[in-house]
């Protein structure tokens, strides 16, 4: 399997959010969901990928982490 930045998807209480995405990003999310699921498995829907991807992005953004540590 391909080594992806996004690992297992944790379950948590969802908050409903409505967003609009460019078609190219939606297509990439669908492809990512297929790769993440692996061969022969049900693809992970794009809606389940967005929150973990944003979480990973914010967790690895050093400037954002410094801001949070100063404002705490």
The per-residue pLDDT for 6 is 75
The per-residue pLDDT for 71 is 83
- Run of H or E residues at 50: helix 46-59
Q: Indicate whether 67 pLDDT > 80.
A: yes
The per-residue pLDDT for 26 is 97
The per-residue pLDDT for 29 is 97
Q: Is 43 exposed, middle or buried (0-12, 13-18, 19+ CB in 10 A)?
A: middle
10-57 confidence digits (pLDDT tens): 777 888 889 999 999 999 999 999 999 998 899 999 999 999 999 999
- Name the residue ranges covered by the structural domains of the chain: 23-71
């Amino acid at each position: 399997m391909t080594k992806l930045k996004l690992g297992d998807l944790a379950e948590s209480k969802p908050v409903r959010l409505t967003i609009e995405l460019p078609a190219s990003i939606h297509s990439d999310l669908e492809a990512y969901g297929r790769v993440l699921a692996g061969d022969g498995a049900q693809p992970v829907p794009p809606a389940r990928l967005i929150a973990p991807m944003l979480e990973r992005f914010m967790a690895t953004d050093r400037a954002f982490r410094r801001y949070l540590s100063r404002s705490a």
